[in-house]
Amino acid sequence: MKRDSIWNQSFEDLARWCRHEGLPAYRARQVFNWLYSRNAAQWQEMTDLPQSLRQRLDECFSVDLPHIIHRQTDPEDGTEKLLIQLTDGKQVETVVIPRDGKEDEGFTVCVSTQVGCTFACRFCATGRMGLVRDLQAGEIVAQVLLAQRLGKAVKRVVLMGMGEPLHNYENVSGAFNILCGKEGLGWSPRRITCSTVGLVPEIYRLAQDAPGVKLAVSLHGTTDQKRSEIAPIAQVYTLDRLFEALRYYHERDKRRISFEYLLIRGVNDGIRDANRLVELLRGLVCHVNLIPNNRIPKSEYTRPSGQVVTRFVEILEKGGVTVTVRASKGRGISGACGQLATESRSRESITTMDV
């Protein structure tokens, strides 16, 4: 009999299972405490549960996490990229980044939400894979747990890895519930940033369902035409529709919105682009992360010069926009923005039991 993964069960799911089994409700809380607070890796470790219950749980649920099959570390900044194999053999990449470049400051984990992506942004290696499948809620959370089992003090999670998070809305929402629920990891939602290329209906849903989760919008263009050349989804959701949704999000959350703006030489890095961006953001409480393009294979896009980046920053700052040039951590291991894409090649196997 195929067992469900315990990591895909919400607390409510497990509580219902306990009721069905004739068990008191507190057993579900005990199990979640072992999983998320005490890092149990086997049912037999849960010593305050009756042996009969541990056996029944083992019959119904697998407690195995996905396997880390390869690890790479960028010698320049200490960023680590994990190639993770899921139970069906599909693979995703997860990036573990030292905060402020210092391990003693803790780590940010950049998690994937899909195997591949359907939106085919032209700067993104993941988009060239097409969409293979969504990740389940537990597979999203598992990437955080695996980083913790490597001894990383995870302080923050960004949903900026492979896939479009809001295209996998239900599972991403389920992951938020586990990460932030008091029976799960119990995090403040402020520790989580959800990125989107601009799925307007789901931005409205997120505003209602996940107050406190930070929103980062991949903008990359200041006109509908230019933006759609870079991110084709802009043909469906125009800037007018997108910014209407963002204003609604801000009114609900009262927190600033982040914009990711990839600077591509000769495409969106000009003076007119910078001035249009100032006008586009006027009146919105926000922050812009400028990201000089990270090269991917077979792409015509390149990085602008440092002088062009500096000029772009100066125009935004003069226009009253808060802006940061993001350091592209993990470029040396193809772990930076836009570079994630699983590859089939022989690697030394490293399982979760090894780390």
Give the catalytic positions in this structure: 93, 337
What single-letter amino acid sits at 297? Answer: P
Rounded Cα distance between 117 and 126, Å, is 6
Which two tokens mark 231? 């991110």
> What separation in angstroms does the CA of 192 have from each of 160, 177, 187, 212?
11, 12, 9, 8
What single-letter amino acid sits at 54? Answer: R
Under a CB-based contact definition with an 8 Å cutoff, are residues 337 and 78 in contact? no
What single-letter amino acid sits at 46? Answer: M
Residue 86 CA, chain-centre distance (Å), reads 17
Find the angle CA(295)-CA(288)-CA(276) to the nearest 5 degrees: 90
In the numeric block, the tokens 């406190």 are attached to 212
Under a CB-based contact definition with an 8 Å cutoff, are residues 157 and 144 in contact? yes
Rounded Cα distance between 334 and 82, Å, is 11
Q: What is the DSSP string of 226-282?
A: HHHHH-GGGGTS-HHHHHHHHHHHHHHH-SPEEEEEEE-TTTT-SHHHHHHHHHHHT
Rounded Cα distance between 81 and 71, Å, is 6
Rounded Cα distance between 257 and 283, Å, is 12
DSSP state of 345: -
